[in-house]
Amino acid sequence: MAFGALGAVLAEHFPTPVRYSGHAATYTLTNLVGGAATPFLAAWLIDTSGTTWSIVVVLVAGYAVSLTLIHRTPETRDVDFYADNMNVVAAR
């Protein structure tokens, strides 16, 4: 269910001329940063704490950050995406 809206959520924050590039760069870089470090972080946390509860704490913290950022994402319902909206993106 999360991936259904992901394309629209990422793309709508970029101006029309660079929307695809902005979406692709955002998606790829977040997967690179988040996906590459996660196995090493999990192994280190288990090695350091000796329990998997430390991973649970990191996941809960990540969910809390995600929910906060989703809540702070501006609504774009009334933005004309066919207009030159470079100023709209810069104003955010």
What DSSP string describes the chain? Answer: -HHHHHHHHHHTTS-GGGHHHHHHHHHHHHHHHHHHHHHHHHHHHHHHHSSTHHHHHHHHHHHHHHHHHHHHSPP-TT--TTS--HHHHHH-
Question: pTM of the prediction?
Answer: 0.66
Evaluate if residue 88 carries a pLDDT over 60.
no
pLDDT (tens digit, 9 = 90+) per residue, 13-70? Answer: 788 888 889 889 988 998 898 889 999 999 999 999 999 999 999 999 999 998 998 8
Give the mean model confidence (pLDDT) for residues 73-85. Answer: 72
Name which residue leads in pLDDT, 2 or 44.
44
